[in-house]
Structure 1
Amino acid sequence: MQLEHNFTVDAPIDSVWKALIDPERVAGCMPGATLTEVDGDKFTGQIKVKIGPVALVYKGVGTFIEKDEGAHRAVIEGNAKESRGQGTAKATVSMSLKDEGDTTTATVLTDLAITGKPAQFGRGMLSDVGGKIIDQFATCLSKKLAEPEQAAGADAEAAVAATEAASAADATPTTAVTGAPTQPDASPRTGVVAQPQEEAEALDLMAYAGGSVLKRVAPIVGAVVVGAIVFVLVRRLRH
């Protein structure tokens, strides 16, 4: 199925572009998502999805197959599989940005193939849910990009503190100590992403879908509940 969504970010197009092609900067804005590794244009992670009482975890890989900075267009291919079931999700996502001055408008085209429990919602329902998720993502991204000066100030203060500490260390005579810890490698690690203290909270599809999905799912849930009650009663009568 093909889905189309639009969102606006309160930031200049260059800032939005740099953020969108950096998984580590935007992963925290995607509900339910946890990034685990970045290796060049490839990144891995997981997303937790909740459908009523059922919790699902999809683990997968995303790859940037196109990055056109001049046109501010990027294409990502993603594949994910449910960790404890047979559900799968495959998607090709095309993102294009339009300069609106102090704001940026983004168009997202998604070619999605999904199996398992989420597939029961259908195209219309998934489009509605996807739109709400993207709106939340855009709000989070706008907030992040609206505070670059504060982040830059914090980085500058940290750099000054590190410089002062290094100078103090150089001025102090060194003594060989058996078993003393070695200095950490100053070169950045490639690939592994620093893990958050807590994994992202599950994306509750029922909450995003609202009352309309309850009307569709209620008969299914009701049938399951009735079946469970009948099963319990039959067991009691047999005993």
Structure 2
Amino acid sequence: MEIKNELVVGAPLDKVWAYLLDVPNLAPCLPGAELVGDDGNGTYDGKVVARLGPVKLSFSGQVKIIETDDAAHRMVMHAAGAEDKGKGTADMMMTVVLAPASGGTTMKVEQDLTVSGAAAQFGRGMIADVTGVLMQSFAECLQYNITNQGSGGTTTAVRAARPASGFAIGVRAARMALMRVFARFFLPYDRNR
């Protein structure tokens, strides 16, 4: 399934780009994600844990930046993993393109995601809504870390993302779904919705 998100990070484009290329520094901003290994050649081992109601999803896998274009501020990453308990898998190709925006940087994120197992039971709409919530949290953490970098005499991340909390994610995703339903019934028709 393809999922698209557009976010604004209140920081200069060059700083956002540099931050995105630093995977170990970037990982704490992904809710529920943790890096556990680095092969030294740009491939990182990681874990992602999320709880959605009674379902706890725990994946182990690898992520690698497979393409970068400094002039276009475009990056392509590949991530793949399997459930620690269970037979589910996830495979994602993610393309990020940055552009200057008033007050910061626009980040366009396109994900081509394939999931199986327990995660697939949530359906496309719920997965897209949850992804949108996680991406917004990621952008907020990114902005916070970039704007506060160096304020304490260190260049490491100041704020790590909160763990992926099923309740908070579920509430925000449900709100997004309700807004879509409301728009379908009560607002003029828009093909792009």
TM-score over 0.5 for the pair? yes
> Which amino acid letter does the alignment assign opposite residue 68 of structure 2?
K
- Partners of 1:14 and 1:40 lie apart in 2 by 24
- 1:50 Cα shift? 1.2
Q: State the match for 2:74 in structure 1.
A: 73
| Structure 1 stretches of 4+ moved >3 Å | 204-207
> Which amino acid letter does the alignment assign opposite residue 80 of structure 2?
N
TM-score, normalization by structure 2? 0.80
- 1:41 Cα shift? 2.2
- Partners of 1:139 and 1:201 lie apart in 2 by 11
- Partners of 2:88 and 2:163 lie apart in 1 by 17
TM-score, normalization by structure 1? 0.65
> Which amino acid letter does the alignment assign opposite residue 87 of structure 1?
G
Contact 1:31 1:137 in 2 (8 A): yes
> Which amino acid letter does the alignment assign opposite residue 145 of structure 1?
I
Contact 1:56 1:82 in 2 (8 A): yes
- Partners of 1:140 and 1:87 lie apart in 2 by 28
- 1:102 Cα shift? 4.3
Deviations 1:131-151 (A, max 9, x none): 111111111110100013414
Contact 1:47 1:202 in 2 (8 A): no
Q: State the match for 2:170 in structure 1.
A: 209
Q: State the match for 2:54 in structure 1.
A: 53
Q: In the superposition, relative to structure 1, how do residues 154 and 5 fare at CA in structure 2: closer, same or farther (>3 Å)?
A: closer
Q: In the superposition, relative to structure 1, how do residues 148 and 102 fare at CA in structure 2: closer, same or farther (>3 Å)?
A: farther
Q: Is 1:111 aligned to 2:112, yes or no? A: yes
- 1:207 Cα shift? 3.4
Structure 2 runs not aligned, ≥5 long: 156-160, 176-193
- Partners of 1:140 and 1:202 lie apart in 2 by 12
Q: Is 1:30 aligned to 2:34, yes or no? A: no
Structure 1 runs not aligned, ≥5 long: 156-199, 214-239
Q: In the superposition, relative to structure 1, how do residues 113 and 205 fare at CA in structure 2: closer, same or farther (>3 Å)?
A: farther
- 1:37 Cα shift? 2.0
Aligned length: 168
Deviations 1:67-110 (A, max 9, x none): 10110000011111001110100010000000125400000000
Query: RMSD of the alignment, in Å?
Result: 2.0
Q: State the match for 1:130 in structure 2.
A: 131
State the structure with more CA Rg.
Answer: 1
Q: State the match for 2:6 in structure 1.
A: 6
- Partners of 1:97 and 1:23 lie apart in 2 by 16
Q: Return 42-51 or 32-41, whichever deviates more.
A: 32-41
- The within-5 A match list for 1:91-170 is 91-100=92-101, 102-151=103-152, 153-154=153-154
**Larger fraction in strand:** 2
**Larger fraction in helix:** 1
